[in-house]
Amino acid sequence: MTALITEPGAYSDIDAADYHRNPNLLPGPSLSSSGAKLILNQSPFHFWHDSPLNPNRPAEDDKPHFSIGKAAHDMILLEGRWDDAYHVTPDGFNAGHHKKWADAVAELEAAQEAGKCILRHQDMEVVERVVAAIRRNVFAMKALTNGESEVTLAWKDAKRGVWLRARPDFLPHSFRAGGRVMILPDLKFMAATQCDPVGFGRAVANFGYHQSLAFYADGIKAVLDCKPTHFLLIPVEKDAPHCVSLYEIPVEDIERGRWLNRKAIDLFADCLEADRWPGYADEPRQVGLPAWERKRIDESGAWNEPTQWPDAA
């Protein structure tokens, strides 16, 4: 079967489901930023298990799941296509009362048949409040307008020749035009404890945002021959008051993410060449107490390291 993408480039017409799950997206196996993080944070085997390389890859639940963040993200970035993906039930709707809600039930069933994500009226009210909070932030909206969302970038790694892919939240038109200042924005919907500067710094490390941004930047460089000058993450609180923050990730941290990505790409290429996808410990490896527990025991004064291992009784 012919691949959907056969040449490196920026593609605006690739469906999200094809990007994430279609084994024929590209002429060969490919790696994304999420795959790179999975390889490094868990193992190549975990990557392989949920990739097209696995003939028994677990099926994904086709039912679209609602989340405040996803719906608000799509309303901001996919405004023209939002109605094609979502259906909102009326205030007070009860599907069990068929006579009273006959028209609404018919509309709901049609939406479900079309594969739309179903939102209750009260859910939609929360989404609208989140979107309103984002739109009140002038700088955030400037970063998220005059561009294109869900552009698929596909390219080959110059060092190893493997296919790589990325799908940034938003690609400003300045990247295609070769602008002088090129801000790469990324929306995040998070718990309040992750949105203050200290909590967000931890989130960057825990979720590998620096790796994702580095992956996007490398795709933009490979496909559009330009480099982002600023990396802007926009975390939004999922709960009231839906505070919107603007955090610029230092370039030196993007470079740290790029170094980690390089490790993942090389490991991905090695595994492809050997057709071997190791897990945590395919061969015996020594794992002892963590350093903090060794220190606790050693400092307790109740244990002295033996000069030699005692003979078995």
Residue 210, sorted as left (phi over 0), alpha (psi -120 to 50) or beta, turns out to be alpha
Residues 36 and 29: beta-carbon distance below 8 Å? no
pLDDT for res 79: 76
Judge whether 3 and 24 are in contact, CB under 8 Å: yes
How far apart are alpha carbons 231 and 229 in whole angstroms?
Answer: 7
**Residue 303 zone, left/alpha/beta (φ > 0; ψ -120 to 50; rest):** beta
User: Is 176 inside any structural domain?
Assistant: yes
236 close to 134: Cβ distance less than 8 angstroms: yes
The better pLDDT of the pair 178, 11 is held by 11
Does any domain span residue 230?
yes
Residue at 67 is within a domain:
no
pLDDT of res. 308? 63
195 pLDDT band, cuts 50/70/90, is: very high
What is the arithmetic mean of pLDDT over 72-84?
Answer: 86
Pick the range with the lowest mean pLDDT from 44-53, 61-70, 162-171, 274-283. Answer: 61-70
Tokens at 252, concatenated: 């030196």
pLDDT confidence tier of residue 309, bands split at 50, 70 and 90: low
Is residue 198 one of the residues assigned to a domain? Answer: yes
- CATH number, position 227: 3.90.320.10
Residue numbers of the domain that contains 44: 9-19+26-52+138-274
pLDDT digits (tens, 9 = 90+) for 139-178: 999 999 999 998 999 999 999 999 999 999 999 998 877 7
Residue 65 reports pLDDT greater than 70:
no
* Number of domains present in the structure of the chain: 1
Residue 47: inside a domain: yes
Give, in order, the Cα–Cα distances in Å from 226 to each of 147, 176, 180: 15, 8, 10
What string of H, E and C letters represents the secondary structure of the chain?
Answer: CCCCCCCCEEECCCCHHHHHHCCCCCCCCEECHHHHHHHHHCCHHHHHHCCCCCCCCCCCCCCCCCCHHHHHHHHHHCHHHHHHHEEECCCCCCCCCCCCCHHHHHHHHHHHHCCCEEECHHHHHHHHHHHHHHHHCHHHHHHCCCEEECCEEEEECCCCCCEEEECCCEEEHHHHHCCCCCEEEEEEEECHHHCCHHHHHHHHHHHCHHHHHHHHHHHHHHHHCCCCCEEEEEEEECCCCCCECCEECCHHHHHHHHHHHHHHHHHHHHHHHHCCCCCCCCCCCCCCCCHHHHHHHHHCCCCCCCCCCCCCC
pLDDT digit string, tens, across residues 249-305 = 999 999 999 999 999 999 999 999 999 999 999 999 999 999 999 999 888 876 666
- Whether pLDDT at 27 is above 70: yes
Query: Domain for residue 164, yes or no?
Result: yes
Query: Is residue 303 assigned to a domain?
Result: no
> Is 259 contained in some domain?
yes
Q: pTM for the whole thing?
A: 0.88
Quick one: pLDDT at residue 66? 63
Query: How large a percentage of the chain has pLDDT more than 90?
Result: 66
Which of the two residues, 101 and 271, has the higher pLDDT score? 271
